[in-house]
Structure 1
């Protein structure tokens, strides 16, 4: 499937708003869920299960879920192994996905095939007070202190470009505080340059922080250094690179 994906970047969408925040309306047409799922083992839940203190429940958070296609596909992907007959009881997986774009969330809600186990809500992760209250309320409804797994696919760059170095690091710290396991895909620096060129091409001013960012270069390495040195997390495994040459890194709370 991956070899037949058209080499067109959805981030060339002529919507200036999407170019600024990454909320591309047809993102999964060009970067289908399989591009990531092919790298993520179906047995991932088995590892998470060993650290679960909530019985059969596993809670998952998808940060920046767009229209929910990848969220739903990952939900089904992670349950395949259990459905095939493992030697431990079947887990109940609950997923909360959020995005700052209410139109994308409306799409996700309308196409959600598992409304009893998957919820989609509009939320901005950089709104610390509101996002903390909403996420704590969700966790509290399950009696859990944090999510068992948090996924953050191709979100860090947009926070970094729009809010700067401090918020980029703060985002990583927030994600680490929310979960036992973090599956992170950080866009490489070449994507930053492309995003800045695209914004200028659309006649918009450059990103406020692009020229003053001090955190540059190997963004996955920067993220790993902060998570390991400042957030009490450790890199468990790299699942390799997607077809867009972005690494998928799985971290675990120490």
Structure 2
């Protein structure tokens, strides 16, 4: 029996309890049914291609990560059930002709999410267990598990961190300080950070959907001071307080969300 303690993550946006009730499962076609973003069929309405079509397959090489003896590590924050993690790995790494090429490149991806049921699904359907791992993790309680993973691979940081459609759920449930703390923690363990922050109109829509379901409003929605262009606020925090700089924008997804790439100075 899973704990019902609240966790914090993303599912390309997940911040959720570890269990999903039968009532919640019945509501999965309603976007308002997941107040923490832990949609159990998320990739049916936002498939991986929505992001991958904007990200060049050569991004690792473009960032200077060449084939060699050292491992290249990718972190996927709020990986949900893992479909995007796997698709992203294949997009960047996997040679469609020769899968042995993957092993030579020594690229490893770690995905984590707070919803243990989603992580179980990711683990069970993972087609590349030698290269991709999934763990349940509440990053607000620390990064010890991530540090253990880095130590196992003899690395001091993740070379590329994905934080895609996670910030809003953290923001709504943990306030301004919670979102900024998330960005700071990711910046502290990452050389590059690919960020997709939901625009403010998504906050209003999420709050409206909760109200339509007759549920309590988000704890912090009415008291948030960070509003408007949330991606710009995130950029300012990363550049002023986290030692990172924006080096590229890959444009906006079909959901009008910017994909911004930051690099540690």
Q: Distance in 2 between matches of 1:81 and 1:188?
A: 35
User: What is the CA–CA distance in structure 2 between the aligned matches of 1:24 and 1:224, rounded to whole Å?
Assistant: 27
Hey, what does 1:40 align to over in structure 2? 55
Does the alignment pair 1:156 with 2:167? yes
Report if aligned partners of 1:56, 1:90 keep a CA contact under 8 Å in 2: no
User: Residues 213-251 of structure 1, C-alpha deviation per residue, up to 9 Å, x if partnerless?
Assistant: 000000110010110111110111000000100000000
Quote the RMSD (CA, aligned, Å).
2.1
Note closer, same or farther for the CA distance 1:60–1:185 as it changes in structure 2 (3 Å cut).
same
> Retained in 1: the 8 A contact 2:50–2:253?
yes
| Residue 117 of structure 1 pairs with residue 128 of structure 2 | no
Partner of 1:182: 193
- Residue in structure 2 matched with residue 29 of structure 1 by the alignment: 44
Change (3 A) 1:50 1:67: closer
Q: Is the helix fraction higher in 1 or 2?
A: 1
Alpha-carbon distance in 1 for matches of 2:66, 2:258: 24
Structure 1 counterpart of 2:229, from 213, 218, 222: 218
Is 1:209 matched up with 2:220? yes
TM-score (norm 2): 0.84
- Match of residue 62 from structure 1: 76
Uncovered stretches (5+) of structure 1, i.e. residues with no partner: 1-9
Sort the Cα spacing of 1:82 and 1:140 in 2 relative to 1 into closer, same or farther, 3 A. Answer: farther
Kindly indicate whether residue 106 of structure 2 is the aligned counterpart of residue 92 of structure 1.
Answer: yes
- What TM-score do you get using the length of structure 1 for normalisation? 0.87
Contact kept, 8 Å, 1:48 with 1:149, in 2: the verdict is no
Q: SS at 2:111's partner residue?
A: strand
Residue 163 of structure 1: how far off its partner (Å)? 0.4
Assess if the C-alpha contact under 8 Å between 2:238 and 2:244 holds in 1: yes
Q: Any stretches of 5+ residues in structure 2 without a counterpart?
A: 1-27
Structure 1 residue 202, shift from structure 2 partner: 1.4
Q: Aligned match of 1:136 in 126, 147, 150?
A: 147
1:55 Cα offset (Å): 3.7
Q: Does 1:247 align with 2:258?
A: yes
Shift of 1:204: 1.1
The verdict on how the C-alpha distance between 1:63 and 1:124 changes in structure 2, with shifts beyond 3 A counting, is: same
Give the whole-Å Cα distance in 2 for the aligned partners of 1:11 and 1:176. Answer: 34
Pairwise CA distance, 1:72: 0.2
Q: Could you say if the C-alpha distance between residues 11 and 152 of structure 1 is closer, same or farther in structure 2, counting changes exceeding 3 Å?
A: farther
Change (3 A) 1:47 1:124: same
Q: 1:249 to 1:82 in 2, by over 3 A?
A: farther
Tell me the residue number matched to 2:7.
none
